[in-house]
Amino acid sequence: GFGAEEASLDAATTASLVELAGRCGAGLRTLVAGAWALLLARNSDRDEVTFGLVRSGRRGVPGGAAMIGPFATALP
């Protein structure tokens, strides 16, 4: 089956995670993706898991916000 879950973090916890990600030389998104990979691996009893992320690439392109059309990057 399928389901949905939602969680929120307070400002202090978020700031701590951003600081941890910075110390590791990564972004918060990368830290969350790593945590998701660990959760998937533990709950599926697998050593290796694969999942994908889709994100907008507009911020990296000068004038990207004014461009029309899909602008997505899919990362396995």
Q: What is the pLDDT of residues 7-52, one digit of tens each?
A: 999 999 999 999 999 999 998 988 998 999 999 999 999 888 988 8
- State the amino acid at position 14 in one-letter form: T
Work out the burial of residue 15: count CB atoms within 10 Å of its CB; fewer than 13 is exposed, 13-18 middle, 19 or more buried.
Answer: exposed
Q: Which two tokens stand for residue 64?
A: 């990207």
Residue 58 pLDDT > 90:
no
Q: Who has greater pLDDT, 47 or 54?
A: 47
- State the amino acid at position 58 in one-letter form: R
**DSSP letter (8 states) at residue 60:** G
pLDDT band at 54 (very low <50, low <70, confident <90, very high): confident
Residue 29 neighbours by CB under 8 Å, 6+ apart: 53, 55
Do residues 9 and 32 touch, judged by C-beta distance below 8 A? no
Predicted model pTM = 0.63
